[in-house]
Structure 1
């Protein structure tokens, strides 16, 4: 998917005259650098390796469910909504018998990577099983054929896999949605707490602050926030190790980078390797030959899409879909190891510009409108 080079193992890059060399010290099992607007893949390493995705799978969850519920919709949590959450899951702190807006729940998903928020939204969507099916269907629509969803929150489950290529497709699709852009770029927010009685016996419901766990967005000890970063999503589980997809803009160029499971066991390593690849991508843009492309969704008009025939997948018929799925299923699943955890603290790039899907021309792009002054105000 996306071209023959991306199916080959190892690092794929065509460095032209004056192109910078790839960064040294990369230890990730898989990574990809792509132009978010044109879809050109500038370089990749094991782009289609099937690896556990951890909470980066929440990008697909959000892209699938965000259109289903207006953000003002409210939901009272019942015990069954929170059933089946995996031990040691990241949580935002949802309480039974409390009412939350959909807006609150999505802040919990994006900022705190809350599996409790994912399960409540899944309950609103007729349950976890239905949500998993919807996500698998949407992944196929996006031509993300390396992905198999078992749990909507990305919690380690047998057979749950994705790839750097597919995670990048999920991010690119999600960024077409205004709400997705808002949530993934939010640094901190107030989240509803538990209803209690104050000293006067009156019921009150205080809120508490939650902060984004994306360290390139917020910064961390020994790690500055990345200039131009606008999201997207991080993850970390025992089986997946650290995973991250980020989008950043610099000098009118918008890049997507996904990094999966760095083997170097250093603090914030996944963010450090992402920053190196973003730096390289901005310097290399226009000086390298693409090694593949991010394909558009199946439903997009690909009659004028460059490289659609080369990938052999874009805009295929229903009959072709089955063949594609069988082909993808025959690829080996790579195992993964490493540690638990997430991350968090203060800076963002909220992308509020409209997104264009120019179906008539077969172009799948993200509009370049990055309101820096507004973002700087939000960072204070």
Structure 2
């Protein structure tokens, strides 16, 4: 829930997009399989049978003749898909159920963004900040201070603030209600590997997702204008006390270029995360030459 992948792992994720898989034409994708489709007007539940190849272990890819060899990636699971068509170009243990860390905030945003008007002000109550897990990443939400809903969303997307998640969940009916709604949203998108227990992605027994499901969430998010705007924001201001504000920076170093990582050309963003159980996790998208790819990387070793 803090900084994303290590520099080496980030480079590996970049290589997946740039060097290995852009050479694969759609016809070379994984056995006609793809992420569950989104019809005009929004996502819908999957009406297709389970994709057999993507449930197999190991790397699944059908490269065209002359395509570069796939680079070595140490992650326990990863997936690369075309963001427009949803077609999976290559994957490794795509449906392996693993702790998602803060990448689960993609599902949180998909579930709550349509229900909470961004311009509405809200004064934080003490009980809304109760129960935040030890060691959580925080944006600095303070009780008694008034924020717009848009401020809280920037805290979620940029700082991965679990304090902002707790306040937004309270406005949505509470922690358990929000988890239940997220679970229902995942099912409606055809994401069957995900089990939501803690809406902020904090390590909790039984909470899992998969590279496949997280790519579904990322792809659906890019079709939501508010989601796309927040996840692609590198730097913003967050309200402090007494009318002043302080800068917050996106924890995705491929977006910001922080800590010696070169910004990745064409990067759109989405969400990264870290917990001790999940390791580093990343859902990212990049656009080049009119094509957008979504990449999920879970727990690089």
Q: 1:141 pairs with 166, 188, 195, which one?
A: 188
| RMSD value, Cα | 0.9
Q: Detail structure 1 runs of 4+ shifted over 4 Å in the superposition.
A: none
Kindly state the Cα deviation for residue 222 of structure 1 after the two structures are TM-superposed: 3.2
Q: Does residue 42 of structure 2 align to residue 5 of structure 1?
A: no
Aligned 1:244-283 pairs, distance under 5 A = 244-263=282-301
Kept after mapping to 1: 8 A contact 2:99/2:208: yes
Is 1:119 equivalent to 2:166 in the alignment?
Answer: yes
Cα distance in 2, alignment partners of residues 149 and 5 from structure 1 = 25
1:86 counterpart residue number: 133
Q: CA deviation at 1:2?
A: 5.5
| Partner of residue 161 from structure 1, selected from 187, 204, 208 | 208
**Segment drifting more, 214-223 vs 57-66:** 214-223
Q: Say whether 1:104 aligns with 2:104.
A: no
Correspondence for 2:89: 42
CA distance in 1, matches of 2:289, 2:131: 45
- Displacement, 1:220? 2.7
Q: Name the residue aligned to 2:67.
A: 19
| Equivalent position to 2:253, from 215, 233, 240 | 215
Q: Distance in 2 between matches of 1:181 and 1:82?
A: 27
Pick the aligned partner of 1:130 from 155, 173, 177. 177
- What does residue 358 of structure 1 align with? none
Task: Tell me the secondary structure at the aligned position of residue 183 of structure 2.
Answer: helix
SS where residue 258 of structure 2 aligns?
coil
Note the C-alpha offset of 1:78.
Answer: 0.5
Give the secondary structure class of the aligned counterpart of 1:63.
Answer: helix
Highest CA radius of gyration, 1 or 2? Answer: 1
Further displaced range: 222-231 or 116-125: 222-231
Give 3-state SS (helix, strand or coil) of 2:113's partner: helix
Hey, what's the Cα distance between the residues in 1 that align with 2:276 and 2:295? 22
Q: Mind listing any 5+ residue stretches in structure 2 that lack a counterpart?
A: 1-48
| Aligned equivalents of 1:45, 1:177: Cα separation in 2 | 27
Aligned residue pairs: how many?
253
Does the aligned pair in 1 maintain the 2:105–2:199 contact within 8 Å?
yes
- Give TM-score, length-normalised by structure 1: 0.66
What's the counterpart of residue 32 of structure 1?
79
| Structure 1 spans left out of the alignment, 5+ residues | 195-203, 264-380
Query: Is residue 253–residue 259 contact of structure 2 (8 Å, CA) maintained in 1?
Result: no
SS in structure 2 opposite 1:88? coil
Matched, 1:238 2:276: yes
Deviations 1:133-176 (A, max 9, x none): 00000000001000000000000000000000000000111111
SS at match of 2:299: strand
2:40: which partner in 1? none
- Describe how 1:330-345 pairs up with structure 2 within 5 A: none
Question: Aligned residue for 1:364?
Answer: none
Describe the SS at the equivalent of 1:262.
Answer: coil
Counterpart of 2:27 in structure 1 is none
Q: Which of 193, 203, 227 is matched with 2:240 structurally?
A: 193
Q: Distance in 2 between matches of 1:225 and 1:118?
A: 27
Q: Distance in 2 between matches of 1:80 and 1:118?
A: 13
Instruction: Provide, for residues 266-312 of structure 1, a one-character-per-residue CA deviation record: whole Å limited to 9, x for no partner.
Output: xxxxxxxxxxxxxxxxxxxxxxxxxxxxxxxxxxxxxxxxxxxxxxx
